Copies of this chain bind each other. A is one copy, B any other.
Amino acid sequence: MTHNSDFDIRDFLPYILALSAEEASLGFQQLYKDRYGMLRTEWRLLFHLGRYGDLTAKDVCARARLHKTKVSRAVTALEQKRFVKRTEVPTDRRHELLSLTPQGTKAFEDLCDAAKLYDRKLLEGFSPQEQTLLKDYLKRLARL
């Protein structure tokens, strides 16, 4: 019979990952929420479109690891904010290309600047080498 009072949840990787992820996302969430009234999925959509150009909703699902219903709703929301527009694909009218409007691009640029600063602030306490290692480890875990 195993004796488990020695197992500390605070050493359990999914737990400390969840806590640090929550902690790290809080401050940035404030930003995109307060400035643009965006939700997490909307912010992610904006960044993927801003960085990787026109994509279909399907592409975004795959790249951003989001469920299609979440993406669908985020597209609608960003469309209403006039940040995203849809372009029909004549050869296959099932999908539509998503792209940022000039306004969307402006918001993206603004949030990029904020993200850069925020990232730097989060990593303040880490040496350059540690920063590289940390991100490398996380990417391995995320299979990124």
Contact = CB atoms under 8 A, between A and B. Distances in A.
Interface string A121-134: 01101100010011
Contacts of A24: 13-14, 17, 141
Contacts of A15: 44, 47
Interface size class of A (residues with CB under 8 A): 35 or more
A21 B14 contact: yes
Given A4-B112, A109-B2, A113-B4, A16 B51 contact: no
Contact of A21 (B2, B17, B50, B108): B17
Interface string A1-41: 01011011111111111111111110010000000000000
- 10 nearest interchain CB pairs? A4-B112, A20-B142, A21-B21, A20-B141, A19-B142, A17-B21, A9-B47, A14-B25, A7-B112, A14-B24
Interface of A: 2, 4-5, 7-25, 28, 44, 47-48, 50-51, 65, 108-109, 112-113, 115-116, 118-119, 122-123, 125-126, 130, 133-135, 137-144
Given A7-B112, A14-B119, 4 more contacts: A13-B135, A16-B135, A18-B21, A20-B21
18 contacts: A2-B112, A4-B112, A7-B115, A9-B51, A9-B115, A12-B119, A13-B122, A13-B135, A14-B28, A15-B47, A16-B138, A16-B144, A19-B65, A19-B144, A20-B21, A20-B138, A125-B140, A133-B137
